[in-house]
Amino acid sequence: MTDDHQHLQRAIRLAQANVASGGRPFGAVLTRNGEVLVEAVNEIHLTQDPTAHAELLAIRAASQQLGARLDGCVIYASGQPCPMCLSAMYLCGVERVVFAASNEMAEPFGLSTAAIGQQVGLPVSEQRLPIQHLPDAAMTTLYQHWKNLHAPE
């Protein structure tokens, strides 16, 4: 667990440096087999991209090196990953996540994403954001075409 502590401390130092340069208090370190592959900070203040979270930027950079699957990788984050980042971690196969500040700790500072997590955990029909499903048979054909193109030989 020494590596966990060291990598988490690095994520916190990245977050501190990001705040010093005008950014938000979020940093992430992505490792594989204990080796640091990528470091990233939240870049929303630079890009005006609301998805430019440290964890997501780390995943994007690591995927450029390793491909879309990040099996065996660990992400160390200064704050509890938001639902978007957590979903990306599931999608790419990150093995484990370690974070320092919980949503409860972040709440008094306006930095918690717990409310978003609660919303996306609800059935689509109960979420605050109006979400409409308009089924279209063309999608079944498209999905079948994709599957045929990617079927194992």
Active-site amino acid positions? 55
Rounded Cα gap, residues 150 and 153, in angstroms: 9
* Pairing outcome for strands 27-32 and 35-41: antiparallel
**DSSP string of the chain?**
-HHHHHHHHHHHHHHHHHHHTT--S-EEEEEETTEEEEEEE--HHHH--TT--HHHHHHHHHHHHH-S--TTEEEEEEEPPPHHHHHHHHHHT--EEEEEE-HHHHGGGT---HHHHHHHTS-GGGSSS-------THHHHHHHHHHHHT---
